[in-house]
Amino acid sequence: MRRRNFILASLALGTLPLAQSQTTTQDMPAWAAQFKEAGVSGCIAVLDARGGAQTLRVADGARTQRRFSPASTFKIPHSLFALDAGLLRDEFQVIPWDGVQRSVPAWNQDQTLRSAMRSSTVWVYERFARELGAAKEIEYLRRLDYGNAAVSGAQPFWVEGDLAISAVEQFAFLKRLYLNELPFQVAHQRLVKDVMVSAAGPDWILRAKTGWTGRIGWWVGWVEWPEGPVFFAMNMDTPNRLQDLPQRQAMVRAALQTLKAWPQTL
Protein backbone atom coordinates (compact mmCIF):
# COMPACT_ATOMS: atom_id res chain seq x y z
CA MET A 1 0.00 0.00 0.00
CA ARG A 2 2.83 2.40 0.86
CA ARG A 3 4.48 1.71 -2.54
CA ARG A 4 1.18 2.30 -4.37
CA ASN A 5 0.59 5.56 -2.49
CA PHE A 6 4.08 6.72 -3.42
CA ILE A 7 3.49 5.96 -7.09
CA LEU A 8 0.15 7.74 -7.17
CA ALA A 9 1.62 10.77 -5.38
CA SER A 10 4.47 10.86 -7.87
CA LEU A 11 2.03 10.59 -10.75
CA ALA A 12 0.05 13.50 -9.38
CA LEU A 13 3.16 15.68 -9.25
CA GLY A 14 4.74 14.32 -12.44
CA THR A 15 8.05 13.69 -10.72
CA LEU A 16 8.91 10.02 -11.22
CA PRO A 17 12.60 9.98 -12.26
CA LEU A 18 13.73 9.08 -15.75
CA ALA A 19 16.75 6.88 -16.14
CA GLN A 20 19.79 8.53 -17.71
CA SER A 21 20.10 6.14 -20.64
CA GLN A 22 20.87 6.65 -24.31
CA THR A 23 17.90 7.23 -26.58
CA THR A 24 17.33 4.84 -29.46
CA THR A 25 15.18 5.76 -32.46
CA GLN A 26 12.77 3.52 -34.35
CA ASP A 27 10.78 4.36 -37.47
CA MET A 28 7.10 3.34 -37.35
CA PRO A 29 5.69 2.85 -40.89
CA ALA A 30 2.26 1.83 -39.56
CA TRP A 31 1.91 5.17 -37.84
CA ALA A 32 2.89 7.01 -41.03
CA ALA A 33 0.24 5.03 -42.89
CA GLN A 34 -2.45 6.72 -40.79
CA PHE A 35 -1.66 10.07 -42.39
CA LYS A 36 -1.67 8.55 -45.87
CA GLU A 37 -5.06 6.95 -45.25
CA ALA A 38 -6.42 10.28 -43.99
CA GLY A 39 -5.04 12.09 -47.04
CA VAL A 40 -2.97 14.53 -44.99
CA SER A 41 0.69 15.11 -44.18
CA GLY A 42 1.87 14.90 -40.61
CA CYS A 43 4.20 13.33 -38.08
CA ILE A 44 4.20 11.67 -34.68
CA ALA A 45 7.06 11.42 -32.22
CA VAL A 46 6.73 9.26 -29.10
CA LEU A 47 9.35 8.94 -26.37
CA ASP A 48 8.61 5.88 -24.25
CA ALA A 49 10.48 6.22 -20.96
CA ARG A 50 8.74 3.42 -19.06
CA GLY A 51 10.97 1.13 -17.09
CA GLY A 52 13.97 3.42 -17.55
CA ALA A 53 14.04 2.97 -21.34
CA GLN A 54 14.51 5.90 -23.71
CA THR A 55 12.99 4.76 -27.00
CA LEU A 56 12.01 7.39 -29.56
CA ARG A 57 9.53 6.17 -32.15
CA VAL A 58 8.63 8.37 -35.10
CA ALA A 59 6.39 8.60 -38.13
CA ASP A 60 7.95 10.87 -40.77
CA GLY A 61 11.17 11.47 -38.89
CA ALA A 62 12.17 14.35 -41.16
CA ARG A 63 8.99 16.26 -40.37
CA THR A 64 9.45 15.73 -36.61
CA GLN A 65 12.55 17.94 -36.98
CA ARG A 66 10.73 20.71 -38.90
CA ARG A 67 9.49 23.74 -37.02
CA PHE A 68 5.90 24.92 -37.19
CA SER A 69 3.87 27.52 -35.33
CA PRO A 70 3.02 26.00 -31.92
CA ALA A 71 -0.50 27.51 -31.83
CA SER A 72 -2.23 26.85 -28.51
CA THR A 73 0.36 24.32 -27.34
CA PHE A 74 2.29 27.49 -26.47
CA LYS A 75 -0.20 28.02 -23.64
CA ILE A 76 1.88 25.55 -21.63
CA PRO A 77 5.07 27.67 -21.44
CA HIS A 78 3.08 30.91 -21.66
CA SER A 79 1.32 29.98 -18.41
CA LEU A 80 4.72 29.58 -16.77
CA PHE A 81 5.73 33.05 -18.02
CA ALA A 82 2.57 34.61 -16.57
CA LEU A 83 3.09 32.94 -13.20
CA ASP A 84 6.76 33.85 -13.02
CA ALA A 85 6.05 37.49 -13.93
CA GLY A 86 3.35 37.78 -11.26
CA LEU A 87 0.50 38.24 -13.73
CA LEU A 88 -1.14 35.28 -12.01
CA ARG A 89 -0.95 34.27 -8.35
CA ASP A 90 -2.52 30.83 -8.65
CA GLU A 91 -5.15 28.80 -10.48
CA PHE A 92 -7.97 30.53 -8.60
CA GLN A 93 -7.26 34.13 -9.62
CA VAL A 94 -10.07 35.51 -11.77
CA ILE A 95 -9.06 36.98 -15.13
CA PRO A 96 -11.86 39.46 -15.97
CA TRP A 97 -13.55 39.10 -19.34
CA ASP A 98 -13.35 42.25 -21.45
CA GLY A 99 -16.97 41.93 -22.61
CA VAL A 100 -16.06 41.30 -26.25
CA GLN A 101 -18.22 38.57 -27.76
CA ARG A 102 -16.10 35.91 -29.45
CA SER A 103 -16.92 32.86 -31.55
CA VAL A 104 -16.32 30.32 -28.75
CA PRO A 105 -19.04 30.62 -26.05
CA ALA A 106 -16.71 29.39 -23.29
CA TRP A 107 -14.47 32.41 -23.91
CA ASN A 108 -17.24 34.93 -23.21
CA GLN A 109 -16.89 34.98 -19.45
CA ASP A 110 -14.34 35.52 -16.69
CA GLN A 111 -11.54 32.97 -16.73
CA THR A 112 -9.04 31.29 -14.43
CA LEU A 113 -5.82 29.61 -15.46
CA ARG A 114 -7.58 26.25 -15.40
CA SER A 115 -10.52 27.35 -17.55
CA ALA A 116 -8.26 29.26 -19.94
CA MET A 117 -6.18 26.13 -20.51
CA ARG A 118 -9.20 23.85 -20.76
CA SER A 119 -11.06 26.09 -23.22
CA SER A 120 -7.90 27.33 -24.92
CA THR A 121 -9.04 30.90 -24.33
CA VAL A 122 -6.98 32.98 -26.75
CA TRP A 123 -7.78 36.43 -25.34
CA VAL A 124 -6.34 35.51 -21.94
CA TYR A 125 -2.96 34.74 -23.45
CA GLU A 126 -3.10 37.75 -25.75
CA ARG A 127 -3.51 39.81 -22.58
CA PHE A 128 -0.52 38.07 -21.01
CA ALA A 129 1.52 38.88 -24.13
CA ARG A 130 0.63 42.56 -23.96
CA GLU A 131 1.44 42.76 -20.26
CA LEU A 132 4.72 40.89 -20.63
CA GLY A 133 5.89 42.76 -23.72
CA ALA A 134 8.06 41.46 -26.55
CA ALA A 135 11.40 41.82 -24.75
CA LYS A 136 10.23 39.78 -21.74
CA GLU A 137 8.66 37.12 -23.99
CA ILE A 138 11.96 36.73 -25.86
CA GLU A 139 13.87 36.51 -22.58
CA TYR A 140 11.62 33.71 -21.36
CA LEU A 141 11.71 31.86 -24.70
CA ARG A 142 15.50 31.95 -24.79
CA ARG A 143 15.67 30.85 -21.18
CA LEU A 144 13.67 27.77 -22.17
CA ASP A 145 15.47 27.28 -25.50
CA TYR A 146 11.96 27.07 -26.96
CA GLY A 147 12.02 26.63 -30.74
CA ASN A 148 13.30 29.69 -32.60
CA ALA A 149 12.28 32.07 -29.76
CA ALA A 150 10.74 34.53 -32.25
CA VAL A 151 7.91 36.92 -31.36
CA SER A 152 7.90 38.83 -34.63
CA GLY A 153 5.37 38.75 -37.45
CA ALA A 154 1.59 38.80 -37.23
CA GLN A 155 -0.05 38.56 -33.82
CA PRO A 156 -0.58 36.47 -31.84
CA PHE A 157 2.98 35.46 -32.61
CA TRP A 158 2.42 31.86 -31.48
CA VAL A 159 -0.40 31.36 -34.01
CA GLU A 160 -0.01 33.81 -36.90
CA GLY A 161 3.55 35.03 -36.31
CA ASP A 162 7.07 33.69 -36.53
CA LEU A 163 7.39 31.55 -33.39
CA ALA A 164 8.07 27.96 -34.47
CA ILE A 165 9.01 24.68 -32.80
CA SER A 166 9.44 21.08 -33.94
CA ALA A 167 7.77 17.96 -32.59
CA VAL A 168 11.01 16.67 -31.07
CA GLU A 169 11.62 20.06 -29.46
CA GLN A 170 8.09 19.94 -28.06
CA PHE A 171 8.60 16.76 -26.11
CA ALA A 172 12.12 17.77 -25.06
CA PHE A 173 10.45 20.75 -23.39
CA LEU A 174 7.69 18.54 -21.94
CA LYS A 175 10.23 16.09 -20.52
CA ARG A 176 11.92 18.93 -18.62
CA LEU A 177 8.54 20.09 -17.36
CA TYR A 178 7.69 16.56 -16.21
CA LEU A 179 10.94 16.47 -14.24
CA ASN A 180 10.46 20.00 -12.82
CA GLU A 181 13.76 20.92 -14.49
CA LEU A 182 12.64 24.12 -16.24
CA PRO A 183 14.13 27.42 -14.99
CA PHE A 184 10.97 28.32 -13.09
CA GLN A 185 9.71 27.74 -9.58
CA VAL A 186 8.87 24.09 -9.01
CA ALA A 187 5.49 25.17 -7.58
CA HIS A 188 4.68 26.91 -10.87
CA GLN A 189 5.73 23.89 -12.92
CA ARG A 190 3.54 21.62 -10.81
CA LEU A 191 0.61 24.00 -11.16
CA VAL A 192 0.89 24.11 -14.96
CA LYS A 193 1.06 20.31 -15.06
CA ASP A 194 -2.05 20.19 -12.90
CA VAL A 195 -4.08 22.38 -15.25
CA MET A 196 -2.87 20.27 -18.19
CA VAL A 197 -4.67 17.16 -16.90
CA SER A 198 -7.10 15.96 -19.57
CA ALA A 199 -8.10 12.64 -18.01
CA ALA A 200 -7.00 10.27 -15.24
CA GLY A 201 -7.54 6.74 -14.00
CA PRO A 202 -6.44 4.65 -11.01
CA ASP A 203 -2.87 4.29 -12.27
CA TRP A 204 -2.49 6.77 -15.13
CA ILE A 205 -2.77 10.49 -15.89
CA LEU A 206 -3.01 12.14 -19.30
CA ARG A 207 -1.60 15.68 -19.47
CA ALA A 208 -1.94 17.24 -22.91
CA LYS A 209 -2.73 20.31 -25.00
CA THR A 210 -4.09 20.74 -28.50
CA GLY A 211 -3.25 23.53 -30.92
CA TRP A 212 -4.42 24.73 -34.32
CA THR A 213 -3.33 27.58 -36.54
CA GLY A 214 -6.05 26.94 -39.12
CA ARG A 215 -3.49 25.14 -41.26
CA ILE A 216 -1.47 23.05 -38.78
CA GLY A 217 -2.94 20.98 -35.96
CA TRP A 218 -1.00 19.83 -32.86
CA TRP A 219 -1.45 17.52 -29.91
CA VAL A 220 1.34 17.25 -27.36
CA GLY A 221 1.66 15.84 -23.87
CA TRP A 222 2.32 12.62 -22.02
CA VAL A 223 0.68 9.68 -20.28
CA GLU A 224 2.05 8.97 -16.82
CA TRP A 225 2.22 5.33 -15.75
CA PRO A 226 3.68 3.75 -12.58
CA GLU A 227 6.55 2.51 -14.78
CA GLY A 228 7.24 5.97 -16.18
CA PRO A 229 5.95 8.51 -18.71
CA VAL A 230 5.24 8.18 -22.42
CA PHE A 231 5.66 11.55 -24.15
CA PHE A 232 4.07 12.39 -27.50
CA ALA A 233 4.03 15.24 -29.98
CA MET A 234 2.17 15.21 -33.27
CA ASN A 235 1.42 17.78 -35.90
CA MET A 236 -0.47 17.56 -39.15
CA ASP A 237 -1.70 19.66 -42.03
CA THR A 238 -5.43 20.36 -41.89
CA PRO A 239 -6.56 20.98 -45.48
CA ASN A 240 -10.14 20.18 -44.47
CA ARG A 241 -9.86 22.48 -41.45
CA LEU A 242 -12.27 21.55 -38.62
CA GLN A 243 -13.06 18.22 -40.23
CA ASP A 244 -9.43 17.13 -39.79
CA LEU A 245 -9.03 18.11 -36.13
CA PRO A 246 -10.35 14.90 -34.51
CA GLN A 247 -7.54 13.05 -36.30
CA ARG A 248 -5.03 14.56 -33.90
CA GLN A 249 -6.13 12.57 -30.87
CA ALA A 250 -7.21 9.56 -32.93
CA MET A 251 -3.78 9.09 -34.50
CA VAL A 252 -1.92 9.48 -31.21
CA ARG A 253 -4.32 7.10 -29.51
CA ALA A 254 -3.80 4.47 -32.25
CA ALA A 255 -0.02 4.89 -32.07
CA LEU A 256 0.12 4.54 -28.28
CA GLN A 257 -2.19 1.54 -28.40
CA THR A 258 0.43 -0.31 -30.45
CA LEU A 259 2.80 0.21 -27.51
CA LYS A 260 0.19 -0.65 -24.88
CA ALA A 261 0.69 2.90 -23.63
CA TRP A 262 -2.87 4.17 -24.02
CA PRO A 263 -5.34 3.67 -21.16
CA GLN A 264 -7.90 1.00 -22.01
CA THR A 265 -10.65 2.95 -20.26
CA LEU A 266 -10.05 6.17 -22.25
CA distance 179 to 184: 12
Q: How far is CA 162 from CA 152, 157, 222, 246, in A?
A: 6, 6, 26, 26
The answer to whether the CB of 53 falls within 8 A of the CB of 148 is no
Task: Look up 72 and say whether it is catalytic.
Answer: yes
Which one of 72, 79, 120, 166 is the catalytic residue?
Answer: 72
Helices (H), 85-236: 113-118, 122-132, 134-144, 167-178, 186-195
Q: What does the alpha-carbon distance between residue 237 and residue 152 come to, in Å, rounded to a whole number?
A: 23
In the chain, the amino acid numbered 85 is A
Q: Which residues are catalytic?
A: 72
